[in-house]
């Protein structure tokens, strides 16, 4: 039997309250220097799990209870592959690092990764999106993400000091996995950044809210959705599609996939290789055997 929400203090078994668990979890994960986005995601997943077991009045949680919760997440809440992995990771961290207990067998799940391909916009569609976006700040946001293959969080954390116009590089600080990297700075992007700076005069971050400080991620998503609608593009696409498009278009132009891996900040080459499945370059350079037939 696994005793969740409990710990031993002075030889007495005391039950921790939900807020105590969250606070202890938050302190420990910050000590281990996890990124703020990961902390936010883990705490959100843990909060939902604690609510689930609290509603059931469960103080002694078994492997079956955990399995039932995972089934609930998958069948009722329709969690994706990545969301399920996040749930597993958050609860596992709780047991291992907060309760100092072995990870329950129910959490030792090996997920079958779905074989799905990323949605990609053509360069013509990207151009159309930018051309219908007349607001200078909005255009700068979309062009920056596409031109450098940025994650949304990386765009929002980008500071004025991260733009190096002398060496034509953008410094991405503490990206996913807390890794720094450099990305090329497009001449077109530099020109629009100079125009944007004169108009908006940001103080710290490249893209700031109306009252200063970081721009809202929801605002970026709204900007992209409106641009898609205005451009008449009906493809299923999100802000992250611009990053997928960046990688695919580089591959289409014959850029070595190992360079693309570095530009995207991927830890493993296998992650980057998914773009070979959507690149027209990799498909078009292979000749069909039918081309040898005399018809």
Is 15 a catalytic site residue? Answer: no
- Kindly report the average pLDDT of the chain as a whole number: 84
41-55 confidence digits (pLDDT tens): 999 999 999 888 876
128-165 confidence digits (pLDDT tens): 999 999 999 999 999 999 999 999 999 999 999 999 99
Q: Is the pLDDT of residue 14 over 60?
A: no
DSSP string, 107-169: G---------PPP---HHHHHHHHHH--SHHHHHHHHHHHHHT--HHHHHH-BGGGEETTTTE
Is 151 a catalytic site residue? Answer: yes
pLDDT at 58: 45
Among the listed residues 221, 273, 223, 278, the one whose alpha carbon sits nearest the alpha carbon of residue 252: 278
pLDDT at 293: 56
Q: How far is CA 96 from CA 45, 196, 263, in A?
A: 16, 48, 34
Of 128, 243, 244, 249, the active-site residue reads 243
CATH number for the region 6-107 comes to: 1.10.150.130
Mean pLDDT, residues 6-23: 58
User: According to the CATH classification, is domain 123-284 in 1.10.443.10?
Assistant: yes
Is 139 a catalytic site residue? Answer: no
Give the start-to-end residue ranges of the domains of the chain. Answer: 6-107, 123-284
Is 169 a catalytic site residue? Answer: no
pLDDT at 57: 46
Of 24, 169, 176, 214, the active-site residue reads 176
Confidence of residue 192 (pLDDT cuts 50, 70, 90): very high
Is 138 a catalytic site residue? Answer: no
Is 196 a catalytic site residue? Answer: no
Do domains 6-107 and 123-284 share one topology? The answer is no
């Amino acid at each position: 039997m696994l005793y969740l929400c409990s710990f031993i203090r002075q030889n007495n078994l005391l039950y921790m309250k939900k807020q105590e668990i969250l606070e202890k979890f938050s302190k420990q994960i910050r000590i281990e220097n996890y990124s703020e986005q990961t902390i936010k995601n883990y705490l959100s997943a843990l909060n939902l799990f604690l609510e689930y077991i609290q509603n059931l009045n469960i103080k002694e949680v078994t492997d079956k209870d955990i399995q039932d919760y995972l089934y609930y997440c998958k069948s009722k809440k329709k969690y994706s592959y990545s969301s399920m992995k996040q749930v597993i990771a958050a609860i596992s961290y709780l047991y291992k690092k907060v309760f100092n207990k072995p990870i329950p067998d129910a959490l030792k799940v090996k997920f079958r990764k779905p074989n799905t391909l990323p949605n990609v916009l053509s360069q013509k569609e990207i151009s159309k999106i930018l051309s219908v976006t007349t607001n200078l700040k909005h255009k700068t946001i979309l062009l920056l993400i596409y031109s450098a293959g940025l994650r949304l969080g990386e765009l929002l954390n980008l500071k004025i000091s991260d733009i190096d116009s002398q060496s034509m590089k953008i410094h991405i600080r503490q990206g996913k996995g807390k890794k720094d990297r450099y990305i090329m700075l497009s001449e077109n992007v530099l020109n629009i950044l100079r125009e944007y700076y004169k108009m908006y005069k940001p103080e710290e971050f490249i893209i700031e809210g109306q009252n200063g400080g970081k721009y809202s991620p929801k605002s970026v998503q709204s900007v992209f959705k409106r641009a898609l609608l205005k451009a008449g593009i009906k493809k299923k696409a999100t802000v992250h599609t611009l990053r997928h498009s960046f990688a695919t278009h580089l591959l289409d132009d014959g850029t070595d996939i190992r360079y693309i891996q570095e530009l995207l900040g991927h830890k493993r080459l296998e992650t980057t290789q998914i773009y070979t499945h959507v690149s027209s370059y990799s498909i078009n350079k292979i000749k069909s055997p039918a081309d040898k037939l005399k018809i």
